[in-house]
Amino acid sequence: MTQLSSPQLKFVQLNSTQISSTQRHPTHGPNRIRLNMNSPLCFCFVCLILPRAIVRGAPTSTDELNTLMIQLHTDARNKVLTCQLAGQPQAKSMPDLIYDQGIADKAQTWADTCTVGHDTYDARKTATFPSVGQNFAGNGDFGSAFDAWFSENTNYMFDTNTCASTKSCGHYTQIVWAKTTHIGCAFKECPKTAQFRYGKSIVCNYGPAGNFNNEKPYVLGAQSICSPAKNTTTTAAIITATLNNISDSPHQEIWIQLNVICGFCVIELLRLL
């Protein structure tokens, strides 16, 4: 029996907003603006930075990466549940995945090492999940990394629970493992090397682990042969929709309020000039 293995794949971090600034020495030029720290003008410079600090924070349960990966996993698992994945049988049940901070923290710990491959089962287990599965990727982008994982469905033979000869399918079987209920992902910018050509690393941990005890990923549903999905939503479309939903958050109200304040700041700046 061919072991369900997990090769190295590709990933890239979504770009975050970067802020650059140049400072002008007081002696550069005859016109200098003297700023009172209590003036509205000083607040203008604060409001230009504050929105970014509010919207882009440290990873949380609503972190962009985890929100995106949960949505991609949900779409993939639903294809198996509704018998829309050609070449694979229907699943009898397939629960939606839930974010778990504990296994996400373990994923971050491993991603931070910038090591190609997987850590040990003992290293990633938590008090809640003594058995944790893992998908790893290096290089590429979020969408192509997930597509590479999920595309391994063409290498998996459900009847014999094996991968095609010389092929890998362990990433796919972990994604659709019905007993897996929770997920936590993380990424890290790494020094660019031959292994990390784009300087990125991504890790998704799963609890409970899949690919366990030579079990099949799920119990068969009503249909043993499935047809391709009609009008399937592409990974790119899912990413776009998910990121748009993230932007339509309560932070939007903060942006509007700060934009009004900054509009006043521009007027104040022009008046002082």
Residue type, 269: L
Residue 191 has pLDDT above 70, yes or no: yes
Residue 89 sits in which domain range? 64-245
Best mean pLDDT range from 32-46, 154-168, 197-211, 236-250? 154-168
Find the length of the chain.
273
Largest CA distance in the chain: 81
Is there a single domain that holds both residue 263 and residue 234?
no
Is there a single domain that holds both residue 128 and residue 163?
yes
Residue 16 has pLDDT above 60, yes or no: no
**The pLDDT value given to residue 215:** 96
Is there a single domain that holds both residue 98 and residue 148?
yes
Is there a single domain that holds both residue 255 and residue 200?
no
- pLDDT confidence band for 268 (50 / 70 / 90): low
**The pLDDT value given to residue 120:** 95
Q: Write out the two tokens for 205.
A: 């941990």
Mean pLDDT value across residues 87-106: 96
Closest C-alpha among 131, 135, 136, 133 to residue 114: 136
CA distance 143 to 239: 7
Number of domains in the chain: 2
Residue 186: strand pairing partners: 203
**The pLDDT value given to residue 271:** 64
- CATH classification of the domain holding 141: 3.40.33.10
pTM of the model: 0.68
CB 69 within 8 A of CB 154: no
Let me know if residue 11 belongs to a domain.
no
CB 131 within 8 A of CB 121: yes
Neighbours of 82 (CB within 10 A): 15
Q: Phi-psi bin for 87: left (phi > 0), alpha (psi -120 to 50), beta? A: left
The full DSSP string for 136-177 is EEEBS-HHHHHHHHHGGGGGEETTTTEEPTT---HHHHHHT-
Contacts with 205 (C-beta within 8 Å, 6 or more apart), sequence order: 103, 104, 106, 107, 124, 132, 133, 134, 183, 184, 185
Give phi and psi for 224, each to the nearest 5.
-95, -15
- How far, in whole angstroms, is CA 16 from its chain's centroid? 13
Tens of pLDDT, residue by residue over 213-251, are 899 999 999 988 887 766 567 777 887 777 777 655 444
The mean of the pLDDT values for the chain is 76
The full DSSP string for 232-270 is PPPHHHHHHHHHHHHHSSTHHHHHHHHHHHHHHHHHHHH
Torsion sign over Cα 137, 138, 140, 142: positive
Is there a single domain that holds both residue 163 and residue 201?
yes
Tens of pLDDT, residue by residue over 101-153, are 999 999 999 999 998 899 999 999 999 999 999 999 886 677 778 998 999 99
**High-pLDDT (> 70) share of the chain, %:** 64
Let me know if residue 15 belongs to a domain.
no
pLDDT: is 144 or 65 the higher one?
Answer: 65
CA distance 55 to 249: 9
Residue 44 has pLDDT above 60, yes or no: no
Is there a single domain that holds both residue 122 and residue 235?
yes
Tens of pLDDT, residue by residue over 141-190, are 777 789 989 999 999 999 999 999 999 999 999 999 999 999 999 988 88
